[in-house]
Amino acid sequence: MRFNLVVFASVLSFFLTSASRHHERESGKCCKRTMKGKEHLHPLHKEYQKHQVSPEQQHEIDSILPKAFDWCAQGFCTPSWNQHIPQYCGSCFLHGALSAAQDRIKISHAQKGFTGADVMLGRQSFLNCAPGHNISNGCDGGEGIDVWTFMDKFGLPDETCLPYNATDHTKFTWTNGTCPPEGYCMNCMYTPESPKVPLCFPVTKMVRYRAKSYGNIIGEHAMMKELLNGPITCGIACSDGFSYNYSAGIFNDTTGFMDLDHDVEIVGWGEENGVKYWHIRNSWGSYWGENGFFKIVRGINNLGIESDCTYVVPDVSDEDLVWSETPAYGGSVWGIRPFSESAKANPSVNDTLDITSGPGTSKPTIVPFTTETPTLPPYTTITPTQKPTSALPTIQKTQNKTPAPTKVIAPSQETTTKATDSVVQTDTIAEAMSMSTTVNASMPLLVCLVLLSLTVAAALFVRISMPPARRRMYDQLS
């Protein structure tokens, strides 16, 4: 009997472990790059073989393109992010895309001789407002092209409008997920009308960063040529070896795993001890990999890294209206407003109705700051009784998981659309609700296993509570 129970417990443990791993796979430990229930939007890795380097292109790579090129090494990389704090959010597509976009903005500023602070684009503004326009699914997945599309249609403010809190449109329950005015940009402070009580209110006019053009690129040669214009965003298949075992060096997956489920930013390329590699920024914090970056072998489409890439050409024309020597607009606590007569001829800085207006939208009420501290954020904003709605923007050109044996080669040291003029909105902070669907999918199996384990426990209890004579008889019958 004792042997039978041990065997049964081992089998039960195996099923519980399998269910746990299945749930981890289904929930997307890396990033929900592909929207749930939707086939991969850009399965370009299937086309990779059609884009192999010709002898002429290989000659160009070998003789014309440099052996090594890196935007970070030249000082053009903005700070890194972590998409998974303060809670899990499957927004890798957003982080990979915006990292490339803001690095290209930094390059553009240098070309103009501008030496001001780095522009960090508004991640939370996108997560709050884009899904309401059917552009991505927020923390539940998307594609780099979704980000360019939003920037093309609506533009995106910088991150001083809203702090990133790893939530999305689902917190706006009173608008059915539509972005309210404070979901795009907001401010909280004392005003002349309220000198003793600080108010939180939407900011509806601000500099927006748009997309002049964007597109897809495939293959080593095309990627290297586009990288000369700025960093690019690429899909990658996160094997377990990559996710959990990588620490430094040039990564080389040996399993052929190609299920693209993550997006990253490629900032350059190089060669080390005869091994070609890509230099790539991840979005899992600077404590991961090599200060948040990693290297992977180049030229063999390892983990699908060369099969689905995008690029964007950012449009920073709104800056010129505000930051020029003779600005048309100036700034205030309520947002950008006309500074000179020339603003009439440049009505580009509009309000955010294009993002947040829609059927049933009502004008939000400005409410006072309170001393009661909600979970997120530590201030009150718009009253939930109001029902604002929203709409989203456009953009431009740019270029999932099984255990995998890996090989670390060496520790390292190293198409087109037009953007439209429109504006985006403001942000409130609340709790994310992104993981419930995948939990529900595994529930029936988990419930059965729990019931099974309870049955075994009951049988053990009955046996232990028997008198010794009856227990021996019970064991013989078993």
Tell me how crowded residue 438 is: count the other CB atoms within 10 A of its CB.
17
Which residues neighbour 157 within 8 Å (Cβ) at sequence distance 6 or greater? 121, 122, 125, 184, 185, 206, 207, 208, 209, 424
Task: Indicate the residue type of 100.
Answer: A
Which are the contacts of 66, defined by CB distance < 8 A and separation ≥ 6? Answer: none
Please identify which of the residues 92, 129, 161, 179 carries the catalytic annotation: 92
Nearest to 137 by CA among 177, 173, 102, 101: 177
Structure tokens at 232: 């690019």
* Distance, CA of 349 to CA of 343 (rounded, Å): 9
For residues 183 and 381, give the distance between their C-alpha atoms in angstroms, rounded to a whole number. Answer: 10
Select which of 262, 279, 302, 309 is catalytic.
262
Residue type, 181: P
Spell out where 175-285 has E strands.
Answer: 186-191, 194-202, 210-217, 232-236, 250-253, 262-272, 275-281
Q: What angle do CA 306, 313, 357 make, to 5 degrees?
A: 110
d(CA 242, CA 41): 24
Q: Is 169 a catalytic residue?
A: no
Query: Whole-angstrom Cα distance, residue 101 to residue 107?
Result: 10
**CA-CA distance, 301 to 65, in Å (whole number)?**
19
d(CA 62, CA 229): 19
Annotated active-site residue 45? The verdict is no
**How far apart, in Å, are the Cα atoms of 92 and each of 5, 134, 314, 477?**
45, 18, 20, 58
Phi-psi region of 273 (alpha: psi -120 to 50; beta: other; left: phi over 0): left
Q: Give the Cα separation of 316 and 71 in Å (integer).
A: 20
Q: Which residues, 6+ apart, have CB-to-CB distance to 56 below 8 Å?
A: none
Active-site choice (282, 301, 302, 400) = 282
The sign of the torsion formed by the CA atoms of 84, 89, 93, 98 equals negative
Neighbouring residues of 58: CB distance < 8 A, sequence distance ≥ 6: 221
From CA 179, how far away is CA 28, in angstroms rounded? 26
- The DSSP letter of residue 244 is I
282 annotated active-site: yes
Residues designated catalytic? 92, 262, 282
